[in-house]
Structure 1
């Protein structure tokens, strides 16, 4: 066998120095400028669209009145149960005639404190996560809770008279709205990145 000409296999990605890349669109045989390096091809990464990061802000503000009402009730019920359990034990231990009056006054005062704390908690939820909702919706949720609690007490038939019940409603609504308004203000201050335009 005669020795024929040796063939060289082409290397992938290789090429003669100065040979243009097929992507560069240069003419065959044209040498690249001396000292120039081929620019890497730019790749565009796919942009992922955010999927509902501001979902809470899309809710109508009045939705947060209902959510604040539910949150206030959830916070108030265990607090009221704990307060009344402690006061019931105090009432059972009282033996003289003046002790029940003091215990009843303490019962009213501690229940007011428990209701106010629950209003602050519910209002804070509205102010912190309420999107376009703000102090006004937080105060409205506290007023709704106070009205429902007043209606529940009225249905039990406690003797208070029409004037007494009217005054009790005003006092409860004022306490609930004020406490929830304060909680909503604290929630607005706690928002990350600054609070949106809320009332």
Structure 2
């Protein structure tokens, strides 16, 4: 008689666990461009928190030269008597809020570079540019503020680059 042939039976063989594919992991994470508006939000919230202190510091600096509630005639008299001091205080008082804005852009772009998987310095740069454009649109559209866009983009680029380096 012929011998019986048996088919192999798999017993107690647990199915091999399939590791999650990178496509499934990528689907659970937001794409890198989503970090641009997130960084802009961080920058604007940070600026909102720092703006009150910056405004108080500017008022305090201006109070050293001009009396509180000075009229236009008093301001003109002080400017004529001390032109260099008045102009330097006015310039410093005007630059403090702008430096606060650039600081908040740098922090928001750093967050983009540090926390955003798949992001690079370009995403931080775009976040900084978008932050200043929103600031420009909200503050009365002074054309001189558009000069801040390239400066903010540079600050965003370098701080996001630093964040990417810290992430790795």
User: 2:59 — aligned with what?
Assistant: 88
What is aligned with 2:104? 118
Q: How many angstroms does 1:121 deviate by?
A: 0.7
Matched, 1:180 2:156: yes
The answer to whether the Cα contact below 8 Å between 2:43 and 2:105 also exists between their aligned partners in 1 is yes
| 1:13-68 deviation per Cα after TM superposition (whole angstroms, max 9, x unaligned) | xxxxxxxxxxxxxxxxxxxxxxxxxxxxxxx9xx8x88xxx789821122100100
CA contact (8 A) 1:125 1:184 kept: yes
Summarize the alignment of residues 28-107 of structure 1 with structure 2, pairs less than 5 Å apart.
58-95=29-66, 96-97=78-79, 98=82, 99-107=85-93
TM-score when scaled to structure 2? 0.69
Asked whether the 8 Å contact 2:109–2:128 carries over to 1, the reply is yes
Residue 145 of structure 1 aligns with which residue? 131
Contact (CA 8 Å) 2:58, 2:94: kept in 1 or not? no
CA contact under 8 A between 1:123 and 1:138: conserved in structure 2? yes
Give the SS at the match of 1:108: helix
1:168 aligned residue (145, 149, 152): 145
Closer, same or farther: CA 104–114 of 1 in aligned 2, 3 Å? same
For structure 2, the 5+ residue unaligned runs are 1-13, 67-77
Higher helix share: 2
Q: Give the CA deviation at 1:102.
A: 2.5
**Higher RCO (C-alpha 8 Å, min separation 6):** 2
